[in-house]
């Protein structure tokens, strides 16, 4: 078949397919219009959802920042009046109570955001300061169930609660998890120091010394090694 004839056949086939498509669209113009409208609406909705999510994130972070200001506000001496225009508290418990309320509000109103996760962690720390050990434990458990830096901080704080409550096995398990899965916020050496301290607390001196020696071997010039050497020297 000559080149010209093959070219003509291709053109005719393309024209036929185009004609069929146009004819189908003309016969089903209502359906086509509906599909186009749905696509446009979905695209607009996606943009709207993205804007909404971004705005909620911004607001959540602002509220979290406000709560952090409360958490870090100065504690003024007893019987000392507050300075005008400056937030301050008469005790760490009073401060923790106010900060906890603000953190909890962020956690409740912006539940799905990263700011809410941080707020839940901070609210648990405030509960611990207030002496609400049960509330602190529940809050830290909810945050520690995930992965990453924040979860590791929650596990570290939770292990401390278990240690102080005499739940040595629970504390040991969490410290070991942190050693096996270190993060930027809680490194392996930091978790090892805490576990070694727990061993000392429970009169397991041999286990503690073994762990201190391992810390020194892994990073002789690290800050954790300095602590470990002091402990090995009986200081």
Q: Domain residues of the chain, as ranges?
A: 66-145, 147-235
Domain 147-235 falls under CATH 1.20.1440.230? no
> How many Cβ atoms from other residues are within 10 Å of residue 95's Cβ?
22
Least confident among 58-67, 128-137, 193-202: 58-67
Has residue 157 got a pLDDT over 60? yes
Percent of the chain with pLDDT over 90: 58
CB 218 within 8 A of CB 228: no
Phi-psi sector, 203: left (phi>0), alpha (psi -120 to 50), beta: left
- The predicted model gives 120-138 an average pLDDT of 96
pLDDT of residue 200: 93
Digit-coded pLDDT (tens) for 162-198: 999 999 999 999 999 999 999 999 999 999 999 999 9
Query: In terms of Cα–Cα distance, which of 58, 90, 96 is closest to 77?
Result: 90
Digit-coded pLDDT (tens) for 78-89: 888 888 888 899
């Amino acid at each position: 078949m000559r080149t010209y004839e093959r070219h003509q056949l291709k053109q005719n086939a393309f024209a036929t397919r185009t004609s069929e498509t146009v004819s189908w669209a003309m016969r089903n113009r209502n359906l086509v219009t509906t599909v186009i409208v749905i696509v446009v609406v979905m695209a607009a909705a996606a943009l709207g959802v993205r804007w909404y999510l971004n705005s909620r994130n911004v607001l959540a972070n602002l509220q979290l920042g406000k709560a952090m200001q409360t958490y870090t506000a100065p504690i003024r001496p007893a019987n000392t009046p507050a300075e005008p225009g400056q937030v301050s508290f008469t005790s760490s418990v009073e401060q923790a109570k106010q900060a906890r309320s603000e953190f909890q509000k962020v956690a409740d109103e912006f539940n799905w955001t990263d700011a809410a996760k941080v707020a839940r962690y901070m609210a648990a720390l405030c509960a611990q300061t207030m002496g609400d050990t049960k509330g602190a434990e529940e809050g830290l458990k909810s945050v520690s169930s995930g992965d990453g830096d924040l979860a590791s901080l929650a596990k570290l704080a939770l292990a401390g609660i278990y240690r102080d409550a005499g739940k040595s096995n629970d504390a040991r398990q969490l410290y070991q998890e942190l050693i096996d899965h270190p993060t930027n916020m809680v490194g392996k050496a930091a978790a090892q120091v805490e576990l070694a301290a727990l061993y000392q607390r429970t009169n397991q001196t041999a286990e503690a010394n073994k762990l201190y020696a391992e810390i020194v071997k892994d990073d002789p010039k690290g800050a954790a090694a300095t602590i470990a050497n002091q402990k090995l020297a009986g200081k």
